[in-house]
Amino acid sequence: MTGPTPGPATPVRREPGEPGKSREPEVTAPQGLLDEDRPAETARPGPEHSGHTAPAREDRPWIGASVGRREDPRLLSGNGQFTDDIDLPGMLHAQFVRSTVAHARITALDLTAVRQVPGVVAAFDAQDLSLADITARLGRPLTEFVPTGMPVLAREKVRYAGEPLAIVVARDAYAAEDGVEAARVGYDSLPPVVSEEQALAPDAPLVHDEASANTLLDVSMFATEGIDGTFDEAPCVVHVETRTGRQNALPLETRGVVAGWDHREEQLVLRTSTQVPHQVRTTAARCLGLDERAVRVVVPDMGGGFGQKCVVGREEIAAGAAAIRLGRPVKWIEDRKDALTAAFLAREQHYDVRAAFDAEGHILGLDAAVVCDMGAYSCYPFTAGIEPLMASAEMPGVYKVPAYRVRARAVTTNKAPTAPYRGVSRPQYVMVMERLFERAARELKLEPTEIRRRNLITQFPYTGVNNVTYDPGSYLESLNLCESVLKEEGWYAAKETAAAQGRHLGIGYSCFSERTGYGSAAFAQRKMEVVPGFDISEVRMDTSGALVVTTGTMSHGQSHETTLAQIAADELGLDIGKVRIHQGDTDRITYGWGTFASRSVAIGGSAVRLAAGKLGEKLIAIAASVLEVPPDELELGPGLVRRPADGRTVSYEELADIAYLKSHLLPKDTEPGLTATASFDVLNDGTFSNATHGVVVELHEGTGQVEILRYVCVEDCGVAINPKVVEGQTRGGIAQGIAGALFEQVTYDEQGAPSAVSFMEYKVPTALEIPEVSIHHLETPCAFTETGAKGVGEGGTIGAPGAVLNAVNDALLPTGVELDDTPVTPQTVAAALEHTS
């Protein structure tokens, strides 16, 4: 491991003339980074990006500025340190013997030949390691939820092709794979359950004996009184049935771990690529029977996660156990074949939803049935309830739905298990809602945007039929702006012209809000037994006046080292170059919930601000004693405490000098040192970011190709801490949403063999498939996060499938064919277009 590189900072002002512009970073950036010839205008080009974001304020120069990322220099120069970059003395390499069948009793598992393969050091099966199962639970009765154990290594039975049976440890990764090939496994085949229909069939074989009807979760909720009457009497009832393809979140860095026993600390150190270091620690300790302090989880640089790494993986626990047994570090890096077939998947859902409307297009009721195919196991800590519970709790979305009924189920099948994936059910139910509105608009002969306008929530706070209270957003404004952009750009006219030429252009929208900053209250409502929510932040200023901020969030591409530093720098009036963010070490922070569900800036960022604020109070208290004035006459920054009345100042360095090196000068009752800790939780329903996506597509007759001609996103995530980062999250999210709508899918054959074993079959789109995206910002600050920020990590992914599908169906209007399943492939579109004439 190499030492840390000095962190350069690159503040970039959005407005060259803004206050605070003179504040250059105090650290010395490596030569070449702070180039003189950088244009005054930064990378927010074009009038379409001019946006509505409030300019940076004088007292908070960093928040709202597109500060250059602190992460970039090391990642751009090959100095990032990802899990597979770690090399420890004596380190061994692991791979797993995996089931080649989907459903079977294990009759034999013989590792004798494995252990004889040259280079193989050891091989362990479930019996050898005897580890406790990973079991995720909900606080619900057995009629609603059935907990099922996930063994770290399969015992007795295998439940999907790819399930780990044994760990092989060898001198290098090549020998480990030689070893895996030498394993002898005997199977007594059972009929595989490979679809929701099969799972729910009356005589279906059981994946887990304890889960009758292969149902892990079955909840019926809300059932507004009189809803059946509403549907009976409504002048317009529309129906959407949709099935969405099973996807892989597909971080480009696969999962991986380097496990080693630290004899001095008597501690297992798991260096692992995870979004949730503390949950991995808790689980590893339980599986291994260790005190939790005897496990330390350290997270290196992460090559993405998108949810696949926000659950605890069995392989990281097995590698830990092997490392303890062998007394040597063990590295496991998942290869791409395993990442595609055996890692956590997501998103395979079936919706059957009706909506009732009055003659003017006002929605009267929503009646939904949702079945999610969660695969072979419940993931920890979220459980197999994650997708159906998200869908049922939030489906009404941005619309004023007066009556609602939903039944949501999770079924278990002989497929790779699932984990939350960016957006969790929201890409699907938003798509369903947006399809319902489009369909009702057609029936009622309304403009698709007009019917939405009649139903969007405009008065806030709004408590919905789903018992969720929505904080203020710009639902209507974002739709209006998005529509006007497409109109002004001439796309409506272009569509008419194209139609006259026999071409197929379509325009589609999706309107949605995204709950971000789920606190413990929201998760408790889902009845999780492990209830995420709060986050803790500790700030520590050293004798040089530099600040280290430790948080429980876990950046894996989201730029926390920059955005959280912006928050701390503003709070203390520090140059951002003086702030260092530290994450991903369970020994350095009491507990944390990591990064998922767009929570980090909303919750983690609030904790950072609170902790920095506490430290600020201490700095003022010491300064008050030095200057012999009351604290309320003093204020912070830049880099000092100041008394406005007479202009006297004390620098942070001087205060730190007293706090650490001359503590005898500290005021009475003031503890030495400059540290502060704060936690933050959201005790209401959370805060909702919102957006409207507008898409123009052309369908090509003869190939069925869907070409995206224009993509406009109007988003509102409250205060954007760093607009460039917000745009990056949005664009990347949209790319993943388009991927789900048009390209990516894992299917299983009758035997339960997955279709995608390589990138030849799993079609991650490239730069030629993903269009440019224009982003417009609106800003409705959140009233209860400390910075006014809402989360932004998932919105792009949530909005894209609905907008794309609506645009495709708009183009298909003359054919009378409607496509509601994803991915929409060229073959499907070509078949639909055959109905043209």
Partner 1 sequence: MTDDVSTPEHPVRQQQLISLHVNGEAHELLTEPRRTLVDVLRHDLRLTGTHVGCEHGICGACTVLLDGAPVRACLMFAAQAEGSEIRTVESLADGGGLGDLQRAFSEHHGLQCGFCTPGFLMLAEGFLAERPEASKEEIREVVASNLCRCTGYQTIVEAIDDCAARRRAALRARVEGTAHQDENTSETVPPRAACEEVPCGSTTRSR
Partner 2 sequence: MKPAAFTYHRARDVEGAARLLAELGDDAKVIAGGQSLVAMMNFRLARPAHLVDIGGLSGLDGLRTDAGGALHIGALTTHHAVETAPPEVLGAGFAVLRDAMRWVGHLPIRTRGTVGGSLAHGDATAEWCLLAVLLDAELVARGPDGERRIPAAEFFHGYYTTALEPEEILVEVVFPRPAPYAALTEFAERRGDFATVSAAVDLEPADGPEGAEDSGREGEPELVGGGGRFRAARVALGGVAALPVRVPEAEEALVQGGPYGPELYAQVAAVAAESVDPPSDANGSAHYRRTLIRTLVAHACEEAMSR
- CB-CB contact of 413 with 345 (8 Å): no
Inter-helix orientation angle 723-742/795-811, to 10°: 50
Q: Which is nearer to partner 1, 77 or 467 (CB)?
A: 77
The interface region with partner 2, picked from 346-354, 584-592, 600-608, 695-703 by CB under 8 A, is 695-703
Look up residue 660 and give its DSSP letter.
I
Going by C-beta distance under 8 Å and a sequence separation of 6 or more, which residues neighbour residue 54? 64, 719, 779
Residue 156 binds to partner 1 (criterion: CB under 8 A): no
Helix (H), strand (E) at residue 690:
strand 687-699
81 binds, among partner 1, partner 2, none (CB under 5 to 8 A by kind): partner 1
d(CA 136, CA 531): 12
Residue with tokens 């700095």: 619
The interface region with partner 2, picked from 79-87, 108-116, 542-550, 702-710 by CB under 8 A, is 702-710
Residue 650 binds to partner 1 (criterion: CB under 8 A): no
Task: Give the number of C-alpha atoms closer than 13 A to the C-alpha of residue 602, restricted to the C-beta side.
Answer: 31
Residue 830 binds to partner 2 (criterion: CB under 8 A): yes
Q: Which is nearer to partner 1, 42 or 455 (CB)?
A: 42
815 binds, among partner 2, partner 1, none (CB under 5 to 8 A by kind): none
Q: How far is CA 516 from CA 23, 141, 450, 523, in A?
A: 32, 28, 27, 12
Residue 761 binds to partner 2 (criterion: CB under 8 A): yes
- Residue 158 corresponds to which amino acid? V
Residue 40 binds to partner 2 (criterion: CB under 8 A): no
Residue 153 Cβ, how far from partner 1 at the closest point, in Å?
Answer: 16
Q: Which is nearer to partner 2, 40 or 760 (CB)?
A: 760
- CB-CB contact of 308 with 418 (8 Å): no
Residue 761 Cβ, how far from partner 2 at the closest point, in Å?
Answer: 7
Count of beta carbons in the 10 Å neighbourhood of residue 107: 10
Max CA separation in the chain (angstroms)? 90
Residue 78 Cβ, how far from partner 1 at the closest point, in Å?
Answer: 2
Q: Which of residues 333-372 bind partner 2 (CB under 8 A)?
A: 335-337
The interface region with partner 2, picked from 207-215, 278-286, 407-415, 760-768 by CB under 8 A, is 760-768
Residue with tokens 């020998």: 175
Residue 703 binds to partner 2 (criterion: CB under 8 A): yes
Backbone angles phi, psi at 61, to 5 degrees: -70, -20
Residue 359 binds to partner 1 (criterion: CB under 8 A): no
830 binds, among partner 1, partner 2, none (CB under 5 to 8 A by kind): partner 2
d(CA 483, CA 714): 10
306 binds, among partner 1, partner 2, none (CB under 5 to 8 A by kind): partner 1
Backbone angles phi, psi at 230, to 5 degrees: -55, -45
Q: Which is nearer to partner 1, 252 or 665 (CB)?
A: 252
Q: Name 409's bridge partners.
A: 218, 371
Q: Which is nearer to partner 2, 433 or 734 (CB)?
A: 734
The interface region with partner 1, picked from 517-525, 647-655, 727-735, 741-749 by CB under 8 A, is 727-735
- Binds partner 1 (CB under 8 A): choice among 125, 163, 178, 561: 178
Q: Which is nearer to partner 1, 645 or 760 (CB)?
A: 760
Q: Which of residues 116-145 bind partner 1 (CB under 8 A)?
A: 117-119
x/- contact string, 790-829, with partner 2 (CB under 8 A)? -----------------------------------xxx--
- Dump the DSSP string for 403-458: -EEEEEEEE--SS--B---TTTTHHHHHHHHHHHHHHHHHHHT--HHHHHHTTB--
Q: Which of residues 250-289 bind partner 1 (CB under 8 A)?
A: 250-254
- Residue 534 corresponds to which amino acid? F
- Binds partner 1 (CB under 8 A): choice among 15, 18, 20, 33: 33
635 binds, among partner 2, partner 1, none (CB under 5 to 8 A by kind): none
Radius of gyration of the chain from Cα atoms? 28
Residue 101 binds to partner 1 (criterion: CB under 8 A): yes
Residue 758 binds to partner 2 (criterion: CB under 8 A): yes
703 binds, among partner 1, partner 2, none (CB under 5 to 8 A by kind): partner 2
Residue 813 binds to partner 1 (criterion: CB under 8 A): no
d(CA 371, CA 411): 7
The interface region with partner 1, picked from 54-62, 280-288, 529-537, 752-760 by CB under 8 A, is 752-760
- Binds partner 2 (CB under 8 A): choice among 133, 755, 817, 818: 755
In 3D space, the residue among 358, 398, 598 whose CA is nearest the CA of residue 479 turns out to be 398
- CB-CB contact of 697 with 818 (8 Å): no
Residue 831 binds to partner 2 (criterion: CB under 8 A): yes
d(CA 792, CA 703): 36
End-to-end CA distance of the chain: 66
100 binds, among partner 2, partner 1, none (CB under 5 to 8 A by kind): partner 1
Helix (H), strand (E) at residue 500:
helix 491-500
- What's the token pair of residue 464? 């919905």
Q: Which of residues 166-195 bind partner 2 (CB under 8 A)?
A: 173-174, 177-178, 181
- Binds partner 1 (CB under 8 A): choice among 255, 599, 724, 776: 724
Residue 38 binds to partner 1 (criterion: CB under 8 A): yes
108 binds, among partner 2, partner 1, none (CB under 5 to 8 A by kind): partner 1
Count of beta carbons in the 10 Å neighbourhood of residue 769: 17
Q: Name 32's bridge partners.
A: none
Residue 768 binds to partner 2 (criterion: CB under 8 A): yes
d(CA 302, CA 81): 8
By 3-state DSSP, what share of the chain in percent is helix, strand and coil, each rounded to 5? 30, 25, 45
Backbone angles phi, psi at 516, to 5 degrees: -125, 165
Residue 125 Cβ, how far from partner 2 at the closest point, in Å?
Answer: 22
DSSP-derived pairing of the beta strands 164-170 and 92-98: antiparallel
Q: Which of residues 66-95 bind partner 1 (CB under 8 A)?
A: 68-69, 71-73, 75-82, 84-85, 87
- Binds partner 1 (CB under 8 A): choice among 196, 394, 727, 779: 727
Going by C-beta distance under 8 Å and a sequence separation of 6 or more, which residues neighbour residue 45? none
- Binds partner 1 (CB under 8 A): choice among 758, 814, 827, 835: 758
The site for partner 1, by CB under 8 A, has a size of: 87
- Binds partner 2 (CB under 8 A): choice among 760, 772, 816, 837: 760
Backbone angles phi, psi at 216, to 5 degrees: -95, -25
Q: Which is nearer to partner 1, 223 or 764 (CB)?
A: 764
Q: Kindly list the residues in this chain that would bind partner 2 in the complex (CB under 8 A).
A: 173-174, 177-178, 181, 335-337, 701-705, 743, 755, 757-758, 760-761, 763, 765-766, 768-769, 825-827, 830-831, 834
